[in-house]
Structure 1
Amino acid sequence: MKINHIGSMGVNPYKRNLEKNIAAQKPQTREDKVEISSKAIDLQQTNEVTKARQEKVQALKAQLENGTYTIDPKAIATGLVNFYKK
């Protein structure tokens, strides 16, 4: 009795692995897109918000330089509690 093709069954695992590697190396054509809403654009363009921020930062810098800046621990604790209760 003669038995042919023992164990091969026409399956080549190396060829499958090679095909997987070739498929993985193909460049992806996905692109990232960022869309900014019109409201966000308006906020970026308004100078009122940036002016108010700059004034506040300058006031805080002056207080730090003068040594008159004080921290209110109750306000910080209240803010933390409110943040974590949400």
Structure 2
Amino acid sequence: MKINGPNHSNFNPYQKQLNKQEEVKQPVKQQQDKVEISSAGKALQDSGKTNETRQNYINEIKIQVENGNYKVDHQRTAGNMVDFFSDKK
């Protein structure tokens, strides 16, 4: 058996692995997130906003529903549904 003093270079055979683990633990330079919205995306955002005429129409319907005066045209609703789903094919 060979005994070398405390200054032996191979004192901890796992030191290389420990050093690699420490390197991994160190935080990597963090990049900041950026969000860019294209002009087409901005146009879609603006199109989602209701205009004043549409808002007035919605408010009228709400009032009619609250008062119990709102009548649904079943034939027209069914026709619109058929038209909508037949266009999808």
| TM-score normalised over the length of structure 1 | 0.49
User: If each structure's helix is expressed as a fraction of its own residues, which one has the higher value?
Assistant: 1
From the CA coordinates, give the structure whose radius of gyration is larger: 2
